[in-house]
Amino acid sequence: MRGTPTIDRQLFAVSAALMFFGLLTLYSAGQTDVPTRAAGVWSRQFIWFGVGVVAAGVAFNLSLRLLEWLAPAAYSFSLILLGVVLVIGTGAGTAQSSNSWLSVGGQQIGQPSELAKVATVLMLARYLSSRKEPPRSLGDLLVPGLIVGVPFLLVLKQPDLGSAIVFIGIAFAMLFWAGIRPRLMFLLASPVLSLLLAFSNWAWGAYIVLFTALLVAWRPYLSDSLVIWFLNVVMGAIALPLWQRLAPYQQNRLLTFLNPEVDPRAAGYHAIQSRVAIGSGGWFGTGYTEGPQKRLAFLPEQHTDFVFPIVGEELGFVGVVVALGLFLLLFLTLLRIARRATDPFSSLVTFGILGLLFTHVFENVGMTVNLMPITGIPLPFFSYGGSFFIICSVCLGLAFRVAWDSRQSGYPDI
């Protein structure tokens, strides 16, 4: 024991730096020569910033034990909201066509999917930490699968592919942290691989042979092997019908990911303009608030999903490296906190938060340079948006609490 514990200074510094960076970028997003919706968002984001700090404070003051006890209730509540939003939800902002918003009396009060992300983290952490052993077979994965699968499907139904992907990220991160064997994770992921490879008969044939060989070599439970093998075959078979059932805009997004020039005016527009803005930044960029692609509104959604290209255009590669470095530092800090947590629940919650934020960052930043297909997914601390900012703050609040707890029990600060 070394006197009065303080909050984790590293986490505080890096989150403060990211929030500051985010607000600066959001301010620049509004500085355009053409009127856009982004004009005044930075000032409104200040309100969300205040609310977020309060929310983080509240989260910080909640005991992890209380949260563990509350998890099923919070989880059920968020599922109900997700169900309700499917019926009476409205579209807004960048997700105009999906029913992702909950409105009361015409006032939009938030996106339940954001709440569901944290609730799922808590619920999954509670389940995984209550087990004596990490899951060893597919049967063991049934319950975790359900915990993540139900909100995943509800969000997918909105449809909000970007948010749905986050649940997958959370699930894989937490299962990994709970200690399931990598080969089981691979088996779990294999049907998706099969789905992707099914577009080439030759590749899929080679894959299924290789996969069968792996099953023989690894010898998981026989029932698991059969189920997984069967699933792989089914996925390969339904790939084409599934593709045809996708809405044309979804097909276009995937196709333009492979080659944005297929449709430069419509589906490929975001991918191209985002890269043009980033690419024209060069080493040092055009200068803060000066980026012409942003100023002239060539950059689409510059205050939400495509806020990061502003960093690329105006601050150049140097600015990008600084921003990415801050995110990396945040994740390494979270990793350290998760590692030193006092108990499995706290550790899993922290790592789940890491998975949640990492999925957001990797997918959002990746899509701006055409590394990932374009889905509507905001960038933590940068993108404009109330519920998401609050959820990110709450996540940080929880992490601060975990760090606080572990230091109270004697882990040294690093």
Partner 1 sequence: MNGFDSYRVRERAEFARLVLLGAFLVLGSAFFRTQIIQHDKFQLKAETNRLRPIPLTPPRGAILDRKGEVIAENVPGYSVKLLAPNTDSLRAVLARMGRFVPLDTSDVEEAVRRFVRARYQPAPVFGDASFEIVARLEEHRAALPGLVIQAEPKRLYPAGKAVAHLIGYVSEVTEGDLTANRYPGAALGTIVGKAGLERQYDDTLRGGAGVRYIEVNARGRLVREEAGAASLPPTPGHPLVTTIDLDLQRFIDSIWPAGMRGAMIAMTPSGQVRALYSAPSYDPNDFVGGISTKRWRALNTDEAKPLLNRAIQTRYPPASPFKLAISAMALKRGLVGLETHMPTPCRGGMRLGNRVFRCWKKEGHGSLDLIGAVAASCDVYFYQVGLRLGLNAILDDGVLMGFRDKSGIDLGSEKDPIYPSSTGYFDRLYGPRYWSPPATTLNFSIGQGENTQTLINMMKFYQGLAGNGKAANPYIVRPSSDDVRSLGLTQGQLDGLRHSLIAVVERGTAAASRRKDLTVAGKTGTAQNPHGEDHGWFIGFAPADKPELVVGGIMEFAEHGTTVAPYVVRTLRRYLLGPDTVGTIKVKLLLDDAQSPQDSAPRPVELDPDSAAAQAVADSVRRAGAQQ
Q: Which residues bind partner 1 (CB under 8 A)?
A: 33-34, 129, 131-134, 176-179, 272-273, 275-283, 292-293, 296-298, 312, 316-317, 320-321, 324, 327-328, 331-332, 335-336, 338-339, 344, 347, 351, 354, 358, 362, 365-366, 369-371
To partner 1, the closest distance from the beta carbon of 405 in angstroms equals 15
The two structure tokens encoding residue 152: 């995943």
User: Cβ of 199: how many Cβ atoms within 10 Å?
Assistant: 12
To the nearest whole angstrom, how small is the minimum distance from the Cβ of residue 191 to partner 1? 22
DSSP letters, 148-166, are HHHHHHHHHTTT-HHHHHH
For partner 1, the closer CB: 108 or 280: 280
In the block, tokens 């999906």 appear at 98
Say if residue 247 is exposed, middle or buried (CB neighbours under 10 Å; 0-12, 13-18, 19+): exposed
Q: Which is nearer to partner 1, 312 or 376 (CB)?
A: 312
Tokens 């959002």 appear where?
364
Q: How far is CA 358 from CA 53, 144, 243, 252, in A?
A: 21, 20, 28, 26
Half-sphere exposure of 300 (CA within 13 A, CB side): 16
Closest to partner 1 by CB, 100 or 346: 346
What's the min distance (Å) between Cβ of 4 and partner 1? Answer: 26
Residue count (the chain): 414
DSSP class of residue 95? Answer: B
Q: CB-wise, 346 or 393, nearer to partner 1?
A: 346
Of the pair 226, 332, the CB lying nearest partner 1 is at 332
Give least dist CB 122 to partner 1, A: 17
Strand partners, 104: 107
Instruction: Count CB atoms within 10 A of the CB of residue 209.
Output: 10
105 or 265: whose CB is closer to partner 1? 265
SS3 content of the chain, % helix, strand, coil (to 5): 70, 5, 30
Nearer to partner 1, 55 or 277 (CB): 277
- Among residues 178, 79, 81, 199, the alpha carbon closest in space to that of 132 is found at 178
Residue 4: exposed, middle, or buried by beta-carbon count in 10 A (0-12, 13-18, 19+)? exposed
Q: How far is the CB of 333 from partner 1 (least distance, A)?
A: 11
CB of residue 243 to partner 1, shortest distance in Å: 27
Q: Cα–chain-centroid distance for residue 216? A: 35
Minimum CB distance to partner 1, residue 190 (Å): 19
CB-wise, 195 or 361, nearer to partner 1?
361
Query: What's the closest the beta carbon of residue 139 comes to partner 1, in angstroms?
Result: 17
User: Residue 158 or 364: which CB sits closer to partner 1?
Assistant: 364
Nearest approach, Cβ of 387 to partner 1 (angstroms)? 26
Rounded (10°) angle between helices 201-218 and 222-245: 160
Nearby residues of 361 by Cβ (< 8 Å), 6 or more positions away: 327, 379, 380
